[in-house]
Every structure is written in structure tokens, then in C-alpha cells.
Structure 1
């Protein structure tokens, strides 16, 4: 079998923190032969425990070479369900500071149906919006947790022994080729031929077309440095300095 033009993959699940590069990873994966994803049928949110059965029923309809995507908080029930289904999974995350910036721009410019758009619209400045996302806020019946709590709901996936953990920064930087190879080795461990792996990697990279992503803005790393003033930097250290250190984005909680 020519692995570079025909694959037979079991269905798999891709979980991401919002604004961490879901569309980029989706394009890379769909650069693999026959790999598909249907936004309408197979997009998942954390939901509630009573939705687990409904989620499982939908996941069971996935066919070979088809994947599901979601923004799913970690729960033992979700992990157990994926184990029961025998599904491989990936977990993608990004520097929380860039997620803050990306989320605010996305809501203000592209997702004005978001429940927090009215709150953001009442903020006087962009800095106020960033501050709200870092600290967390409540607007009527809706509560947005601070960035540290927000990440805490997802990051247990990074400890999932069955998951391939990916950083957004590695997908957009010089490590993209290595990350693509990791993905191939994880999804298709049977492929050992180096030329076949290289061909698959090139197909993945060639399928990246940022202009086709509705959510794409800049897709770069460290953009928060152009947006945060000193007050916001200090606020970020206060609220998630340890998180940034734990994730490897800073060497100390009180970074410069």
C-alpha cells in the first residue's frame, strides 16, 4: 500500500483551548490523505455530565479517517468515554496571554453574537477588555472565569497518558515539521518509511491556508507584547504567573 495517498485511520478526537489554533491544526490534519472533519456534526463543547451519552452516541458515528474537534473541559467521564471508544486524542494549547488577546479581538471583530460582546462593548478601552478576561468578570447571568481558572478546566488533558499534547507555538514556528512528524507517528505508527513520512508532512504543510480560516487574525506568537501595558503585565503575573511558568512560557512566575 502506498501510505502517501491512502490511509485507513480509526476515528480520533482533537481537543483545544479556544483561540489556540484549532483551525490551523485542522488544516494540517486535513492535509493527510482522506482525513476529514465535519464542523456541523462533530464539534463538541464540555456540556454537562448528562450529555455524555449524547456525545458518545455522536462520536460513535465517526467513520474511519474522520475526526472530531472540541473545546472540552477535562472530566474523568469524558476521558473514560474516549477510552471506552478506543479513540486517540490530541490536546492543543497556547500561551494564555496570546489567548486573551486573540479572544478579545475575535469577539469584537468577528463574533458579535458572543454572550460577552455587550460587556466588551461597554468597556472604554481594549486594555479594559484584556483586563476583564485576565481577571474574570460577570455580566448578568453570564460569568467568564479568569484566565487561570479557565486554563485549569482544560489542562488535565495535558496529563492524559493517551493524548498527544501539542503547543500552538510549535505549529507556527520552526518546529512545524517536527510536530507534523509527531502527529504522523502518533496516528499512523505503522508507517516507518522515511520518504513516506516526508511526503505526508509536505502534504500537511501544503494544506495550511490561513485565508480560509474565519477565525484567523495574525496567528503569530508573542503578540501580547504589542498589546499589554505594564499594568496588564503585572496583572497577568499576579493572576497566572505560576501557570505561565508551569506551561514553560516563562522561567519564573515573576517574569520580565
Structure 2
């Protein structure tokens, strides 16, 4: 049914009957919420919005008003705080003592409140907590007013850009959709059984509040050159926060010193921002408005990636700043490297090599963490990729030392170094100057182990299953991939006198024999008793309990999930428990295709 609300709101409105649009009703947790599409671009809203749409459209503006306008989940909260601090002379005391929603209210919030599936008491708590909540209250606010809105420009007052300052932020719609999905789950707006794949269908079919996404963004983009409009991309803000702060300051005619910029960047740093009680809305969890297992400020970071070199190796973009230092790293003749594709038996091989090369010094092996004895060369480029609570990253940096290239370069000889980099990205003189042990493992087992490793580190969304992960793996969208390019580089060098190429399957099938091969490679002689003792030390059950290698302390600081383990199962052939018939056939075809012009074959263990 199409209608017009009033003469002072010149837009047609289509009321959506949930009986005629069951796809809308099926998603929601509340059967009573109805929706409408507004205007020629069919913007989608809860029908409660219609009662306030004319008031917003005809709202009296002031010349010192400031608006932050975004499509939802596009970095709104961070931008509000940034703008408010810049425009209020860096008044951190007030920012800390006054909730952001009071300093920078949400214009159309009152039309959203009834959309939420809460008790009358919870709604009253929400209204009190989110003051000012109505248009009338916002209109009475003293100047200067700071106002947030998710409405498209066409539904805001027509004189908005002529009378006020507007900061608009756009974000990659794929990230928006993921964040919006978790936001709706946090607020109990969607049915618990609905997964992200289903949500994505709603998103791209414009059945999400404030959509269509592109109509919303493009309206602002067309006005980006207006002198009262600052158009920002969330990705650029998070990539270079100090530069974004300076752009905002310039837009508002403010001058900030480098110290002021750095202080604000630290204030807005994700880990600090997430803990900031004036913006994180955690009190809404205490009152049952938000679910207890989520967060209003969830992740907020876009991990960007890059492909490197002719073989298109895939890395978090942070690796690029480290890559030249690694490639040009000064090597020593007594350096030892263990190099593997991730989840190929690296930790076990490191411990084996270290014990063999250090005269079976089990006391030091027990008392000194493996990460200290045998550091991970490129770890510092990975640290920002992990998600952890509180000051976990800083604790991690202190626990895992040496962490940086500089610290590794300053280690006393002999150095033992672990890397997951392919040989082509390591120093060109690596095999001529150092000893290298490379370990390869069946990629199907690697993929299973990598999947659980990423879950342990909270790097994947909880609903992503292994079948989904496998698609990323075989399409070379996993860090350090492509898998076969990595392994085949080492395979081609297997006969170099400074290279020992091992298969994980052969190590686990006959550990004493593998120990002897490693000892021979390093010119060490081990008695049968020494081999047996090391084999017992490396036995999986003993190894899993070994505190110097199992990284259990990372659970205590929130780096690892509490329901997983760094050293998980360690068996060969376990992939069969995770692959269905279709995946097995796909894996066979993928392996055959990548090995067709090589003599590389996995051992039949």
C-alpha cells in the first residue's frame, strides 16, 4: 500500500505487509514489527519511523550544528568520539564522564526503540540510559549540538549541508554486513538460528534497516565536494588514524599539535576504545538490553591483505613493512632455521632440532620457553592480526621475546630461528650460509589443523565451518599460501647440503629414525639411550603437557580461546574425519593438478 505521510514530507511510503513479505518476518525475533519503504529509492525502515520522519525532515537546524552521518556499522561511534574531542578542545574529562549518547545523540533512536524485543521495563531503562532520545529533546539541546544519524541525506533536512557541518563515513559493505549481523544478534533482533549466509541475502536484497546500502552511500558521495561535507572511508581512518584526525581537525578549522594528535589516536586505539565505558554501552548488557555474549564495539579492525611476488604469496598487509628487513637480514654461519608452511609440525621440529643441537639440555628446554630459544622470525607482523582482550597484545609482546627482527639480530650465537615464509622471501644466501630443516605435511591435515588454529586465535567467525575454510585454503586465501608453491620451492632445494627436507608423516611414523636423521644432518652423534629419551620427550602426550612449548599461558590473557589447544592432536590422516565425499574428490583433483609436472609425492604412511 502506497501513501503520503503529510504535505511537509514529500515522499511516497509503501507499507510492507509481513504476510505478503514472509522473508522479512522470518528473519525477525518479533512478529509484531512491521516495515515500510520510503521515497523513490525505497529506503527500508521499521514502520515506527514514519511517525517521526516529517519531524526530522523539517527539523530546525543551527549554524553550529555538527552531524555524523553513516550507514549503520560503518565506524560511527569512533567517528563521533573523534569529532567531539576535536571540536571540544580535547576535553577528555568530559568525554570520560559523559556517555557519548548524551554528548552526541542518535537522531532517529526513538523510532528504533519499539523495534527491539524487550520488556516495558527494559525499554524504560533504555530510554533513560540513552537520553536525549526524542526529537523534542534534541531540539532543546544547548548549542553547539552534535548529532548522529543513520538516515540517508535525502531524508534529513534539506538545508543540512548549507547550514551545518556533516562528516559522512563509508565502509566496505561486506564488513558492514558482518558487523550489522552481530549487532542484530547482540540486540536479540534476529532469530538465534539465523546464520550470516541468510543475513547476507537480506542485506543484498535491501531488507535491512536504512538500506539500500549503495543508495545511501552514493547520495553522500555526490555531495563530497560541498564545503560543509567531509567524506571519509573507514578503511582509510583505521589505516592511518593520525592522518584522519588531522583531516577532521582541518575540516573544523582546528589546529592540533603532534602530541594532541597522538593522544587522540591513543584514545581511539581499538583496545582502549573497547574498554571506554562512555562509548562501549556495556551497561546495556547489565540491564538485559544486550546479550551477555557479545559487544557493541566488537572488532572494528579491517585486516587488509597483500599478495607478494610472482607466486602471489598471501599475507596480512602488516607483513609488507617487515619483508625488506627479513629479506636483507644479516645471517651467520652457525644460524639454524626451521622453515615450514604453518601447521606442518613446526613446534615439534623446533624442539627436536634444539635438543639435538644443544647437547640434550633438557633443563634449559624445560625452563626456557621455546619461543625464546627458537623465535618466530615474522611474528611481529602477525601480532596485530590476533584479537585479544584488555592489554593482551602488550603482555604478548613481553612474553614472546625476542619478537622483533632487531631483537633476533641481537641474539647471541648460535641462533635458532623459525619461519613460515617461503624460501624465496627469506635471505637469498640462506642455504649457502645456514642450516635449514624444512618440514612438509599432507595439505589436507594442514588445512584441518590451520582451521582449528585460526579458531583458537579467534581469527575466524564462530559460524564458519571447515568446509567453508577449505575453500579459502585451496583458493590460496590463507596466510603464507599458496601451499604448493611454498612446499615445491623447498623440494627443489632438497639436495642442497645445508637443507634437510622432512615429511611430517615420516617423523610421526618413526620418530627415532627422524631423530637420527636430524642428528646426522647437524653432525651430532646420539646413543640409543639419548634417542629413546628424546623420542619420549617428543611423545605427543608428553609434548602436549610441556609448558615450555604448549603456549597455554596465552589462554590466560585472552589470545587463545579457552576451549582449544595450540598442540591439538598431531596425528597424520586425521583429515578423513572432516572431509565429505565431495571435498575428498576436490582435494584429490587439486593435489594432482599441482603435482602433475613435479616429482614431489607425499609418503604413503
| Alignment TM-score, normalising by the size of structure 2 | 0.32
Change (3 A) 1:146 1:11: closer
Instruction: Give how far 1:43 is off.
Output: 1.2
Please identify the structure whose Cα radius of gyration is greater: 2
Q: Say whether the 8 Å CA contact 2:422–2:480 is kept in structure 1.
A: no
| Alignment TM-score, normalising by the size of structure 1 | 0.70
Using the alignment, how far apart are the partners of 2:521 and 2:431 within structure 1?
16
List runs of 5+ in structure 2 lacking aligned partners.
Answer: 1-332, 382-403, 552-565
Instruction: Give how far 1:134 is off.
Output: 2.3
- Out of 335, 338, 343, which is 1:19 matched to? 343
1:107 maps to 454
- Out of 469, 492, 501, which is 1:159 matched to? 492
Using the alignment, how far apart are the partners of 1:11 and 1:154 within structure 2?
21
Using the alignment, how far apart are the partners of 1:46 and 1:247 within structure 2?
29
Instruction: Give how far 1:107 is off.
Output: 1.3
Change (3 A) 1:87 1:59: farther
- Out of 397, 401, 419, which is 1:70 matched to? 419
Q: Would you say 1:184 and 2:530 are equivalent positions? A: no
Instruction: Give how far 1:70 is off.
Output: 1.3
Q: Say whether the 8 Å CA contact 1:59–1:68 is kept in structure 2.
A: no
Using the alignment, how far apart are the partners of 2:428 and 2:340 within structure 1?
14
Instruction: Give how far 1:202 is off.
Output: 2.2
Query: Any idea what SS the aligned residue of 1:188 has?
Result: coil
Using the alignment, how far apart are the partners of 1:62 and 1:229 within structure 2?
49
Query: Any idea what SS the aligned residue of 2:427 has?
Result: helix
Q: Say whether the 8 Å CA contact 2:334–2:413 is kept in structure 1.
A: yes
Query: Any idea what SS the aligned residue of 1:166 has?
Result: strand
- Out of 236, 249, 252, which is 2:602 matched to? 249
1:37-116 matches, within 5 Å, as 39-40=371-372, 42-45=375-378, 58-59=408-409, 61-64=411-414, 66-75=415-424, 78-83=427-432, 86-108=433-455, 110-112=456-458, 114=459
Using the alignment, how far apart are the partners of 2:593 and 2:575 within structure 1?
18
Using the alignment, how far apart are the partners of 1:250 and 1:181 within structure 2?
19
Change (3 A) 1:13 1:146: closer
Change (3 A) 1:199 1:20: same
List runs of 5+ in structure 1 lacking aligned partners.
Answer: 1-8, 49-53, 138-143, 252-256
- Out of 568, 576, 595, which is 1:225 matched to? 576
Structure with bigger RCO (C-alpha 8 Å, 6+ apart): 1
RMSD: 3.3
Instruction: Give how far 1:150 is off.
Output: 2.5
Instruction: Give how far 1:247 is off.
Output: 3.6
1:5 maps to none
Using the alignment, how far apart are the partners of 2:466 and 2:585 within structure 1?
17
Change (3 A) 1:132 1:164: same
Using the alignment, how far apart are the partners of 1:170 and 1:75 within structure 2?
25
Q: Say whether the 8 Å CA contact 2:341–2:487 is kept in structure 1.
A: yes
Query: Any idea what SS the aligned residue of 2:417 has?
Result: strand
